[in-house]
Amino acid sequence: MAYFLVLFPLLMAVLTYVLPSERLRPWLLPAGALVQLVLVGSILNQAENATSVSGLGGWLLLDPLGKLVLGFLCLLFALCSLSVPGYLAQHKDRSNRVFCANLFLIQAMMTLVTLSYHLGLMWVAMEATTLASAPLIYFNQSARSLEATWKYLLIGSVGIALALLGSFFLAYAMLKAGRGSTLRFDQLIHEAPYLSSAWLQSAFILLFIGYGTKIGLAPMHTWKPDAYGEAPGVVGAILAGGVTSCAFLAILRVYQICNAGTDASFAREFMVFIGLFSMAIAAVFMAQQRDIKRLLAYSSVEHMGILILGIGIGGLAVYGSLLHLINNGLTKCALFLSAENIQKSYGSKLTGQVRGALRRVPISGALFLAGFLAITGSPPFGPFLSEFTIAKAAASDGQFWACGLFLLVLASVFVGMGATVLSVVQGDPPVETPATPYRERVGTCGPILLLMSFALLLGLFIPSPLESLLREAAASFEVKR
Amino acid sequence: MGQLLDPLLIIGLALNFVALGVSRIRGVINAVAAQGMLLGILALFVHPGVRLRGILLVGVMILIKGFVIPKMLIHAMREADVQHEVNPAISPITSLLLGAMGTGLALVYSYTLPLAEEHQHLLLVPASLATCWTGFLVLTTRKKAIMQVLGYLILENGVFLFGLLLLEAMPFLVEVGALLDLFTGVFIMAIIVHHISREFASTSTEHLSELRD
């Protein structure tokens, strides 16, 4: 079954690539994504059999953490893929062959990351997501999108090269300790107490910086505003909600090893610092941001900071962080897709030219506003619950500085992001920016509504299977003292 | 063959300084190509009993790093009519000083890392870290797209140098890592050759500076 989960989207990618019809090709995406969702759903439903999803001599295995991320990614990809036919219908001037095939390729590689139970295999899958997503960022084929693709590839590849060096360090630590030549996660975790702490800590730092570049933590975030700003909305959504989640999973796996080894307090302190630093940098650049997609990119930097901060704080905050992974992914995707609709109707994404979105594109405008409220942690949406959990965990653990700074940055982001979002949705559309032929349709607004409904649902009620999966996944991070 | 290893590594380190100090791009391309080929030869010195698979990897690396990539870069330069000067953001002297500082720090840091007995007297670890640092320097202080690719290749050389310690024990990891990194390098270069030069009629990343806050 593990092989099939990866092979199915790969086969769909091939099928999409060879299909000659430009009109039918985009429809394969929601069809394939829904089949994959049903497949994964049925696996997750059979809770007791889920751990039996394995292969390649233990290199592929679906543990609770993998289950959580895989289930979430499949749902997210399926929801985003619903908007692809609507998006591509507005771009009939260019071939969608590479676009559709590479989206499936990204899904295959994201699935492989969640199933990888081997450091080397996971690295390969992460590198493959970078390569597969580069042509999607260049879809508009403008000088700006070329610049964004260039930065994404170059900075991403440097990060991935550092992650490889970190993997080598870890492998060498195993050899040096005479613990065999394996990089399977269960064995690394088991052997971690016997590894040299100098190698282990150096490996952690390199792997953290490497995969941290991929998720866009400050100061390795510089590619993110450019790539997300220039990529089509659906690509930005999948990058911000999906690919970053994969890199976050990679960091979690590495932290699990570090945590099982020597005293991991240095790793936790490092993560608290980087988490808060990312949030603060994002808050600075979000204030008075004129480009709505870049605004969302900085919001992504902020929320990646929150995820890492939660893991660094530990305890209940780990649960909060894992829940926030889902909440942020859903909300961020809704924001990117609604921003794309707004951009389409104005022919611009700059605040000077985009005003009165609630009048011109009422559904997308309202969903953009709701998405802003959700992502900034307003009740009753899901992100409120997860951010509150992290803050509460920090306070109850006596980490008052971290808690105070966390709340302070959240407040300043609310103000900074709010100013831009309100100026976009309120008022009258400017006469100098005439309406484009774009009209809101079910295909372009429906997926956003679904994404926001899920984000709202998770704020009101967490289904018990998800709750137990979250608890199970969080339990694997208990601090060894 | 072990006693020849350190002199070869020192040549590799010297090539780092060539890449930092020369003023013409062609010189940097040659230095990176020579370093790439040297790495392939080094693999045979570190593991004299390397099997057919390892020899194949070495062959592919020498071919790609020593011949294919330099040829592509020179083709890209000619295609886009790139000026031959490196034009760094900092002076060559500062580059060299920073390079020397990084190499010194790499030496000091590598002494804090416990090594297996057979690796204790080798320069592999400091050479690897120093080469990574040189790659970083080139990446961050050179403006031309071609120079940034060269920086990435130097960084990748540094990572591979460390991988040599593991070539026998974990061939899969090293081989896949090296080959995928190489593929990425070629992929990025294809962008320069086919798109950046076409779009801007130049491969200076100064043109790639429209996106900013």
Is residue A60 a contact partner of residue A5, using CB atoms and an 8 Å limit?
A: no
Phi, psi of A338 (to 5 degrees): -70, -35
A64-73, A220-229, B6-15, B113-122: least confident range: B113-122
- Which amino acid is located at B162 in the chain? F
Within-domain flag for A38 = no
For residue B192, is pLDDT > 70?
A: no
Say which residues have a Cβ less than 8 Å from residue A178's Cβ, sequence separation at least 6: none
At residue B208 the predicted structure's pLDDT band, cuts being 50, 70 and 90, is: low
Minimal Cα–Cα distance from B169 to chain A, Å?
6
**A window 121-150, beta carbon within 8 A of B:** 123-124, 127, 130-131, 134, 138, 143-144, 146-150
Distance CA B203, CA A56 (A): 43
Within-domain flag for B140 = yes
Q: Do the chains contact at B116 and A199, CB–CB below 8 Å? A: no
Q: B25-75 pLDDT, tens per residue?
A: 888 899 999 998 898 888 877 777 667 777 787 888 888 888 888 888 888
> How many CB atoms sit inside 10 A of residue A295's CB?
29
Within-domain flag for A434 = yes
Among candidates B145, B184, B209 on the partner chain, residue whose Cβ is nearest the Cβ of A127: B184
pLDDT at position B23: 83
Q: Do the chains contact at A168 and B114, CB–CB below 8 Å? A: no
Minimal Cα–Cα distance from A472 to chain B, Å?
30
| Residue-number span of the structural domain to which B67 is assigned | 2-207
Q: Do the chains contact at B184 and A151, CB–CB below 8 Å? A: no
3-class DSSP assignment, residue B142: strand
Minimal Cα–Cα distance from B192 to chain A, Å?
9
Nearest residue to A186 (alpha-carbon basis) of A336, A61, A359: A61
Within-domain flag for A110 = no
Handedness of CA A385, A386, A392, A395 (dihedral sign): negative
A14-18, A165-169, A234-238, B59-63: least confident range: B59-63
Within-domain flag for A120 = no
B62 touches A: beta carbon within 8 Å:
no
B12-16, B106-110, B115-119: least confident range: B115-119
A287 touches B: beta carbon within 8 Å:
no
Minimal Cα–Cα distance from B183 to chain A, Å?
10
Q: A409-426 pLDDT, tens per residue?
A: 999 999 999 999 999 999
Q: What share of chain B has pLDDT > 90, as a percent?
A: 18
pLDDT at position A416: 92
Within-domain flag for B212 = no
Minimal Cα–Cα distance from B23 to chain A, Å?
23
Say which residues have a Cβ less than 8 Å from residue B44's Cβ, sequence separation at least 6: B1, B50, B55, B58
> How many CB atoms sit inside 10 A of residue B48's CB?
8
B148 touches A: beta carbon within 8 Å:
yes
A155-169, A258-272, A454-468: least confident range: A258-272
pLDDT at position A2: 80
* Mean pLDDT over the full length of chain A: 90
Is residue A306 a contact partner of residue A437, using CB atoms and an 8 Å limit?
A: no
CA distances from B8 to A153, A316, A364, B43, B61 (A): 32, 53, 62, 11, 17
Domains in chain B: how many in total?
Answer: 1
Q: A103-124 pLDDT, tens per residue?
A: 999 999 999 999 999 998 999 9
A218 touches B: beta carbon within 8 Å:
no
Domains in chain A: how many in total?
Answer: 1
pLDDT at position B205: 60
pLDDT at position B116: 80
Q: Do the chains contact at A172 and B176, CB–CB below 8 Å? A: no
| Residue-number span of the structural domain to which A358 is assigned | 263-481
Within-domain flag for A371 = yes
For residue A52, is pLDDT > 90?
A: no
Within-domain flag for A46 = no
At residue B186 the predicted structure's pLDDT band, cuts being 50, 70 and 90, is: confident
The angle subtended at Cα B114 by Cα B113 and Cα B117, nearest 5°, is 140
End-to-end CA distance of chain B: 55
Within-domain flag for B213 = no
> What H or E segment, with its residue span, contains residue A169?
helix A143-176
B80 touches A: beta carbon within 8 Å:
no
Distance CA B134, CA B150 (A): 11
Among candidates A131, A176, A196 on the partner chain, residue whose Cβ is nearest the Cβ of B187: A131
pLDDT at position B212: 66
CA distances from A149 to A94, A224, A226, A463 (A): 18, 10, 8, 39
